[in-house]
């Protein structure tokens, strides 16, 4: 068992990891920035260390400060959570060089999957279907992009080779749009990831985002835990996820699951990871990318499989063998996760502030993972994800009813949240039928309102 684990994150996932460690009997160190001194993860950990000022670059992304904390406070394991340094190969390597266990895959897996054109090439070579896209090591110049586009045919999705989280992404439908948006996307990529390398991919209309959870030990045992449907996205940001995917037939699930296992196996993957696919309306599916970390939406898989992914990831990092075979994984019922963002439900602008009233929903099949408490000041500096509401029920219709009932109980005053948006999604007839793709949320977009000046509430130092 690890002697002490440092949680290299904040918010909901830091709390999730601390809870898992408490159950395993592993003491935890929370790290925090000066803006987070009152954050719940700081209060919950056994020890808490301030590692830098509010800006993420100086704190949660500050590798030397985190490694120094590990060494000074004597941790023998680090869990990176999601976001921040979770998919940074240098961080994984720095941990291992400092003699501390990194809860996650090897640095080389992180780097390989972080290079999207390369990951695509490896998958294609091993028979995992990939979307037609630009060939070679990526595209930097517009004229190369135009050459690729002629071969692929429109619509086309421009992506940052090093990217993620929707940055540097654009859908283009003709030559004019390509000429206009390619340089823009490249500039975004340069700003966000420090890389001008892009790649182009055939864009599928009305496709679904279906991803498979992977679990693997260090001894080449590798299984999947079924799929999640994450098509409910706004600007490539997931909003609501569910398991199982409402349209997958057992046969298709088996085919996609096998492809996912193959994709992870060919690179010798270990620990938790996710293979993301696009599922076309015709039933064909295509590898998009692999996430080499725990996902925000891991909870829905936990609910339907009964497997605690965070505890398993820690066990696997300790060198334990996988405790389940593919056949032992069984699925029961349906689960839905609603991501609660501290944002204005109409404008989608962040809504930081002090939580003046806070009352969580509860009861059978209701799970809340929250970073909020009454009196907590939501800082402006970080991701607006402040809570996750996860429900589980014996079937999808009941899960939808339970999610609605729980959202109606949820009280978060003082800040605005996207709870009203979730209630609208759950009330939508197409959603209730399971009939939706990644374009679903566009129908909920408000008519663009001229915003005079984006309102950003009182920044705390």
Residue 402 interacts, among other proteins, a copy of itself, none and using kind-specific CB cut-offs from 5 to 8 Å, with a copy of itself
Binding of a copy of itself by 17 (CB under 8 A): no
Catalytic residue of the set 234, 253, 293, 339 = 293
Q: What tokens appear for 340 in the block?
A: 């609660």
The residue from 142, 423, 432, 434 that contacts other proteins (CB under 8 A) is 423
Residue 164's H or E segment, with its range, is none
Which residue spans within 10-116 are E strands per DSSP? 28-33, 47-52, 77-79, 101-102
Binding of other proteins by 410 (CB under 8 A): yes
Distance (Å, rounded) from C-alpha 264 to C-alpha 211? Answer: 13
Handedness of CA 38, 40, 45, 51 (dihedral sign): negative
Distance (Å, rounded) from C-alpha 172 to C-alpha 202? Answer: 10
Residue with tokens 């002629």: 150
Nearer to other proteins by Cβ, of 322 and 372: the residue is 372
> Minimum distance between the CB of residue 369 and other proteins, rounded to whole angstroms?
15
Total of chain residues touching a copy of itself, rule CB under 8 A: 39
Beta pairing class for 47-52 and 28-33: parallel
Binding of other proteins by 26 (CB under 8 A): no
> Considering only CA atoms, which of 205, 135, 210 is closest in space to residue 171?
205
Binding of other proteins by 3 (CB under 8 A): no
Binding of other proteins by 427 (CB under 8 A): no
Total of chain residues touching other proteins, rule CB under 8 A: 52
Mark the segment that binds a copy of itself (CB under 8 A) among 31-39, 69-77, 159-167, 391-399. Answer: 391-399
> Minimum distance between the CB of residue 399 and other proteins, rounded to whole angstroms?
18
Those residues with Cβ within 8 angstroms of residue 147's Cβ, 6 or more apart along the chain or in another chain:
none
Query: Which residues face 343 on adjacent strands?
Result: 350
Query: Which residues face 369 on adjacent strands?
Result: 388
> Minimum distance between the CB of residue 368 and a copy of itself, rounded to whole angstroms?
4
Residue 173 interacts, among a copy of itself, other proteins, none and using kind-specific CB cut-offs from 5 to 8 Å, with none
**3-state class (DSSP) for residue 296:** coil
Distance (Å, rounded) from C-alpha 333 to C-alpha 400? Answer: 12
Binding of a copy of itself by 299 (CB under 8 A): yes
Residue 293 known to be catalytic: yes
Which residue spans within 118-221 are E strands per DSSP? 156-160, 170-172, 198-202, 208-216
Distance (Å, rounded) from C-alpha 24 to C-alpha 405? Answer: 33
Distance (Å, rounded) from C-alpha 260 to C-alpha 32? Answer: 36
> Minimum distance between the CB of residue 410 and other proteins, rounded to whole angstroms?
7
Eight-state DSSP code of residue 130: B
How far, in Å, are 21, 242, 393, 433 from residue 396 at the CA level?
31, 9, 7, 10
Binding of other proteins by 24 (CB under 8 A): no
Site string for other proteins, 318-357 (x = CB under 8 A): -----------------------------------xx-xx
Residue 360 interacts, among other proteins, a copy of itself, none and using kind-specific CB cut-offs from 5 to 8 Å, with a copy of itself
Mark the segment that binds other proteins (CB under 8 A) among 36-44, 101-109, 322-330, 383-391. Answer: 36-44
Residue numbers at the binding site for a copy of itself (CB under 8 A): 15-16, 19, 22-25, 44, 299, 302, 306, 308, 332-333, 357-360, 362-370, 373-374, 393-394, 398, 401-402, 404-405, 408-409, 411
Residues that bind other proteins (CB under 8 A): 22, 34, 37-38, 40, 42-45, 47-53, 59, 64-65, 67-69, 71-73, 98, 353-354, 356-359, 373-377, 405, 407-413, 419-420, 423, 457-458, 460-461
- Residue numbers annotated as active site: 293
């Amino acid at each position: 068992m690890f002697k002490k684990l440092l949680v290299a994150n904040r918010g909901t996932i830091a709390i999730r990891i601390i809870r898992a460690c408490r159950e395993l009997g592993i003491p935890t160190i929370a790290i925090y920035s000066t803006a987070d001194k009152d954050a719940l993860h700081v209060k919950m950990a056994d020890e808490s260390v301030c590692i830098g000022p509010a800006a993420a670059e100086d704190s949660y992304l500050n590798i030397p400060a985190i490694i120094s904390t590990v060494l000074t406070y004597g941790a023998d394991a680090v869990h990176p959570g999601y976001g921040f340094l979770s998919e940074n190969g240098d961080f994984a390597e720095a941990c291992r060089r400092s003699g501390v266990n990194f809860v996650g895959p090897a640095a080389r897996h992180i780097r390989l999957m972080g290079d999207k054109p390369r990951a695509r090439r490896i998958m294609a070579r091993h028979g995992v279907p990939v979307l037609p896209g630009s060939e070679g090591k990526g595209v930097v110049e517009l004229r190369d992009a135009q050459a690729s586009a002629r071969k692929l045919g429109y619509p086309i999705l421009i992506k940052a080779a090093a990217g993620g989280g929707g940055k540097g992404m654009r859908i283009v439908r003709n030559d004019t749009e390509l000429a206009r948006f390619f340089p823009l996307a490249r500039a975004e990529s340069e700003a966000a990831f420090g890389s001008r390398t892009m790649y182009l991919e055939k864009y599928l209309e009305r496709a679904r985002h279906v991803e498979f959870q992977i679990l693997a030990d260090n001894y080449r045992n590798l299984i999947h835990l079924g799929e999640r449907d994450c098509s409910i996205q706004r600007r490539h940001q997931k909003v609501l996820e569910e398991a199982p995917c409402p349209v997958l037939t057992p046969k298709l699930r088996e085919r996609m699951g096998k492809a996912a296992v193959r994709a992870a196996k060919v690179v010798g993957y270990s620990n938790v990871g996710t293979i993301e696919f696009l599922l076309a309306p015709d039933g064909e599916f295509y590898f998009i990318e692999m996430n080499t970390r725990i996902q925000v939406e891991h909870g829905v898989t936990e609910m339907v499989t009964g497997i605690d992914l965070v505890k398993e990831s820690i066990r696997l990092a300790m060198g334990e063998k996988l405790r389940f075979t593919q056949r032992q994984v069984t699925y029961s019922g349906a689960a839905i996760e609603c991501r609660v963002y501290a944002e204005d439900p109409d404008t989608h602008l962040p809504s930081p502030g002090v939580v003046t009233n806070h009352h969580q929903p509860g009861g059978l099949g209701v799970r809340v993972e929250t970073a909020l408490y009454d009196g907590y000041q939501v800082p402006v500096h970080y991701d607006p994800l402040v809570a996750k509401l996860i429900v589980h029920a014996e079937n999808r219709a009941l899960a939808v009813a339970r999610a609605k009932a729980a959202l109606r109980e949820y009280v978060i005053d003082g800040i605005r949240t996207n709870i009203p948006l979730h209630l609208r999604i759950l009330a939508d007839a197409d959603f209730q039928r399971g009939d939706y793709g990644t374009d679903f949320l566009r129908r909920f977009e408000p008519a663009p309102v001229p915003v005079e000046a984006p309102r950003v509430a009182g920044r705390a130092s």
